[in-house]
Amino acid sequence: MIVKFWGVRGSIPTPGCETTKYGGNTVCIEMIFADIQRRIIVDAGSGLRLLGDHLLAEHAAGEGLDTDIFLTHTHLDHIIGFPFFAPIFMPKTRLRIYGPVTCETESLEAVIGGQLSYRYFPVRQQELAAQIDYINLAEGHFDLGNDIRLSTKYLNHPLLCLGLRFEYEGQVYCTAYDTEPFQNLFVTDPQDPAFDALMAHQGEVAAREENQRMAEFFAGADLLIHDAQYTQQEYEASRKGWGHSAMESVINTAQQSGVRTLALLHHDPMRTDVQLDELTQLLCDRRHTGDTDVFFAREGIQVNI
C-alpha cells in the first residue's frame, strides 16, 4: 500500500514563498493498492485538484476513473477541491463519496455538491458528466471489498468528524484529524455557581474513556496521520476547544500506542517552512520519539507501508 500526500495544510490554502517546501494545499491523501489496482482518496481539500490532474494525465484518453473518496468531515478546507477535481467532468468517471453529516436537513450530496451552483461556480452539480454516489458514513466497521476493511470513530472536533482505520493484508493505515483530545467540558470548580458535581464527574469519566478508545483506535498502526496544527504552548495558551491537537501530545500518544510511523498533518496556515524544519529538529529526533518514526507531512511525498 502506498500513501501519497497531495495536500497537508489546515484551514485554508496557503500559497507563497514561505510554504513551498511543505506545501500550501489543504488536505488530500491518496492510497494506492497497486496489486489490486485500487485507489482510495481521503479528503477533498485543494490538493485534490493536483491529484485530479495527475490522474487525467495517467489515464489514457477516454478511460474512466472508478474510485472512492472518504471525507473525514465537511469543513470547507476538506471539500474545497471537489469542484476542481477534473475527473468529475469526464463521462466515464464513477465516484463514491462517503462522509459524515449531522442531523440537519441537508444531505451529503447537498453539502458537497452545493459548491457546484452558479452562485459559487460556473458548472452546476446536475451538469457533471461523472456518475457520483453519496453515502452517509457513521461510526462502525465496513468491508470495502478486495480484503480492505475500514473502521471509523468519531473524533473531537466542532463538527461531526470521523477517524478512519484502513486494514489491508495485515497493514494498518489510520487517520485522526481534525481532532483534539477529549476533555471534560463541564465546570469542575466547586466555587463556580454553575458547578454540578454529577456533571463534572461524568464529564471526567467520559473524556477519559473516549481518549482511551481513541488510543485503541490507532494502536499498532503502521502509519498514523494525525492532526498536529499547534505546538503544545499554542494549544495551552488559547486554542483549546478549537478541535486541533498539539504536536507534542500527539507524538507522546502515538508512541504509547505502538504506532510505527506518525505523520503530523494539518499544518497551521501561519506555519512557515522554516518553522516546520525547526520543529522537525526539535520533535522528530528518534532519541525522543523512541520506536515511532515521526515526520511533518509534506505535499508530494509518499510513504510505502
Q: 96-125: which residues touch other proteins (CB under 8 A)?
A: 102-104
Q: Which one of residues 34, 127, 198, 291 is an interface residue with other proteins (CB under 8 A)?
A: 198
132 touches other proteins (CB under 8 A): no
**Cβ-based nearer residue to other proteins, 115 or 156:** 156
Stretch that binds other proteins, among 76-84, 106-114, 178-186, 286-294 (CB under 8 A): 178-186
**Cβ-based nearer residue to other proteins, 2 or 138:** 138
Please check whether residue 283 is in contact with residue 149, taking contact to mean a CB–CB distance below 8 angstroms: no
Q: 137-176: which residues touch other proteins (CB under 8 A)?
A: 138-140, 154, 156-160
Q: 48-107: which residues touch other proteins (CB under 8 A)?
A: 102-104
**Cβ-based nearer residue to other proteins, 132 or 187:** 187
207 touches other proteins (CB under 8 A): yes
**Cβ-based nearer residue to other proteins, 9 or 153:** 153
Please check whether residue 29 is in contact with residue 69, taking contact to mean a CB–CB distance below 8 angstroms: no
Q: Angle at Cα 136 formed by Cα 127 and Cα 203, nearest 5°?
A: 140
Question: Residue 263 forms beta bridges with which residues?
Answer: 225, 295
Stretch that binds other proteins, among 27-35, 76-84, 200-208, 245-253 (CB under 8 A): 200-208
Residue carrying the nine cell digits 473516549: 210
C-alpha cell at 30: 491518496
Sheet holding 131-136, edge to edge: 131-136, 94-99, 66-70, 38-42, 28-33, 2-7, 302-304
* Closest distance of CB 211 from other proteins, Å: 10
Q: Which residues bind other proteins (CB under 8 A)?
A: 102-104, 138-140, 154, 156-160, 182-187, 194, 196-199, 201-203, 205-207, 210
